[in-house]
Amino acid sequence: MSDMIAPTRGAATLHDVAREAGVSLATASRVLNGSTRKVAESYRERVEAAAEKLGYTANLSAQATARGTSAIVALLVADIADPYFGQLAAGVARGADEAGLVVTIAITERDPQREVRLVRALRGQRPRGLILAASRVEGPDAAGLQGELDAFAGMGGRVVVVGPGGGTERSVAVDNRGGAAALGTELAGLGYRDAIVVAASEGIRTSDDRVAGFTEGFGAAGGSVREVRRTGFTRDAGYAAATELLADGGIAPGTLIFGISDVVAIGIMSAVRDAGRQVGGDIAVAGFDDIATGRDIRPGLTTVRVPLEDLGYRALHAATEPEWDAAEAPLALEVVVRGSTPPRS
């Protein structure tokens, strides 16, 4: 004579489980969620059976309000369709899964105002940590952002920025400058002497660092950067910039174009070809990041490999672990030379 499957509207609650098992709320809570086990085996079994039978899953929201802390990590990226962020997000997701955390994601579309708004919205979730993967730490809206971040940190959340560390928050940095310098050196070694850089607008640290590093490395090895063109971080920005360049004054054979990221470089390659020129022996192109596409296009794209997924994975840990050693083994960057920059004899 016991209950048929109670077709309760709404999910089974802890209360239901406790009743079904004939124990108190507290006991049920202890076996199902609490960490330190101190429940008689017989009770434990009854509770587990009841939970199973009812298909009980703890209500995370309730848990969060009661515990005062959530199991959420928020991730903010510029554009999730961009492979750069996609790989990064994959690393974050993997780490979160391992740690039993849930990832909520939001897209800034590279709009600083939007970014501020999103941080504020995410703050409402009281996430354990907030990973910022696309922020310009400078510029007019920086103050607003910083305000939100401080508020978040003030309420116990941890902010992690991927890229050049802004202020006091933790950061998972990539040695953009060093990597770009190595790339410059390598390419000068291959015989290139004349380069044009297609970068993002000034004030974006990642871009600035790559420009500086490349200029430095390329220059030190005997090359010189003739021009730095400013645009955005997208494939279309690269395409447009290269098209202009090609039209403006033309580009001499043997010139090297360094795109600030692979995505940009791929746009450049397309523009070069659409202009009837050849990528490689004619106009050389290099990028940064080593996204998957760079391996599949022909010629392959010369670039600096950034272990994007690792980066995301580390960011997740930086966002969740109490202890954090900023200086721990830095991510290894590696110059990868492919067909887009053949040796110039």
Partner DNA sequence: TTGTAAGCGTTATCAG
Partner DNA sequence: CTGATAACGCTTACAA
Q: Does 4 bind a second copy (CB under 8 A)?
A: no
Which 30-49 residues touch a second copy, going by CB under 8 A?
none
Number of residues that bind DNA (CB under 7 A): 29
Question: Site mask, DNA, residues 27-46, x = CB under 7 A?
Answer: x-xx-xxx---xxx-xx---
Identified binder of DNA from the candidate list 15, 273, 295, 298, rule CB under 7 A: 15
Question: Site mask, DNA, residues 235-274, x = CB under 7 A?
Answer: ----------------------------------------
Q: Alpha carbon 332 to chain centroid distance?
A: 17
HSE-up of 301 (CA within 13 Å, CB side)? Answer: 30
Q: Does 151 bind DNA (CB under 7 A)?
A: no
Q: Which stretch binds a second copy (CB under 8 A): 23-31, 65-73, 166-174, 189-197?
A: 65-73
Closest CA to 280 of 240, 329, 339: 339
What is the nearest approach in angstroms of DNA to the Cβ of residue 330?
37
Q: Does 220 bind DNA (CB under 7 A)?
A: no
Identified binder of a second copy from the candidate list 166, 206, 309, 338, rule CB under 8 A: 309
Question: Site mask, DNA, residues 44-83, x = CB under 7 A?
Answer: ------------x-xx--xx-xxxx---------------
Output 64 or 142, the one with its CB closest to DNA.
64
Identified binder of a second copy from the candidate list 59, 146, 201, 243, rule CB under 8 A: 59
Q: Does 14 bind DNA (CB under 7 A)?
A: yes
Q: Which one of DNA, a second copy, none is in contact with 218 (Cβ closer than 5 to 8 A by kind)?
A: none
d(CA 233, CA 68): 39
Output 106 or 228, the one with its CB closest to a second copy.
106
Residues that bind DNA (CB under 7 A): 10-11, 13-15, 23-27, 29-30, 32-34, 38-40, 42-43, 56, 58-59, 62-63, 65-68
Residues of this chain that interact with a second copy (CB under 8 A) are 7, 9-11, 55, 57-62, 64-65, 68, 70, 72, 79-83, 85-87, 89-90, 93-94, 97, 102-107, 118, 120-126, 147, 151, 154-156, 235, 266-267, 269-270, 273, 292-293, 295-298, 309
